[in-house]
Amino acid sequence: MDPGPKTLVSATHKVPQPDEAGLLLHVRERRPQGLPPGGAGRAVLFVHGATFSSGLWDLRPPGLSFLDAVAAAGMPAYALDIRGHGRSRSTVMESEGGPYARAGDAIRDIDRVADFLSAREGLARVCLLGGSWGSITAGLYAATLGRDKLERLVLYAPIFSDRNADWLALIADPSDPSRPNPALGPYRRVGEAETRMRWDAEIPLQDKTLWRDEAVFRALLEDAFDADPMARDSEPPAFRAPNGTLLDLFEAFNRRPLYDPGAIRVPVLLIRGTFDPTSTRADATGLFDRLASPVKRYVEIGEGAHFVSAERNAWQVIDEVVGFLGRPLAGQDGYGVR
């Protein structure tokens, strides 16, 4: 989606997270020029998945910044790096032996930034979008700490509680598949080769460029490398991603959900790509059926994989998200179901 003639203003924030010494949460902001903090009726917070951080929502090739699209629609947009991800770097992650930053940590980060955003924008409630592993953390937040703080919820590439043998083969202990691999350290390193291999495997065409623009792929990687000061210390470059996410995925893919959808009553949009092997149709529709929200939608994007938000059909995802977040809800006050 082209944000059109509106001029947008960018800012970054470092929000202290007092539950871990020295931790500052990095937050990107985008808003229409001339719209002061407190001047909008709605604001949106984006939460990333298990590997790539907030840069996924702010790719610089034209039309692929969700922050731009939401801000151009008149809603200030913010994107958070959960602790250990992106520019929210942690010395604790370096010192811990086991996987760092699980969903329980993530929802405290979301809560801290949601409070910051509410105070900055003068709003009692904010909108929240979480993608992939971020759909777990966003759903958990909506069902617990954020029950009275959210206006609307978007779960992109939602993961909830469907057995996924391919993912479990990567995460489980080779000698005991009933438990996670004990060799998992606090984080893993991710580079171009493994990113390309995973993404290519999801696109059912020989020519991957028919679905994915190479410039977008490069922009995503470069942002991730730039966000980690140690990424370019290796050759080829590789950024650090916390492994606590993998423990959460291990639970979800073993049909042990991390939250109760029956506790969520705000309007919800679920959206996924048809060819996504991580967020399956069975999982997404099963989650949809269990949501208590009286206003809920399920949308599937054809010719899209797990990263459809960064593929050539990303404009469809952007249109659905902006439409759902921006429009009044029939029969309601325009600010969601209370």
SS3 90: coil
| Farthest CA pair distance, the chain | 59
> With the C-alpha atoms ordered 17, 22, 26, 31, is the resulting torsion angle positive or negative?
positive
Query: What is the sign of the dihedral through the CA atoms of 207, 188, 180 and 18?
Result: negative
Q: How confident is the model at residue 338 (pLDDT cuts 50, 70, 90)?
A: very low
Averaged over 173-189, what is the pLDDT? 96
Say if residue 333's pLDDT is above 60.
no
Q: Where are the alpha helices (DSSP H) in 203-333?
A: 214-227, 244-253, 281-290, 314-326
Tell me: the pLDDT tens digits for 297-323?
Answer: 999 999 999 999 999 999 999 999 999
The CATH homologous superfamily to which domain 8-326 belongs is Alpha/Beta hydrolase fold, catalytic domain (3.40.50.1820)
Distance CA 178, CA 174 (A): 9
Report in angstroms the alpha-carbon separations of 268 from 98, 130, 161, 164.
34, 11, 18, 24
State the pTM of this model: 0.95
Q: Which amino acid is at 27?
A: V
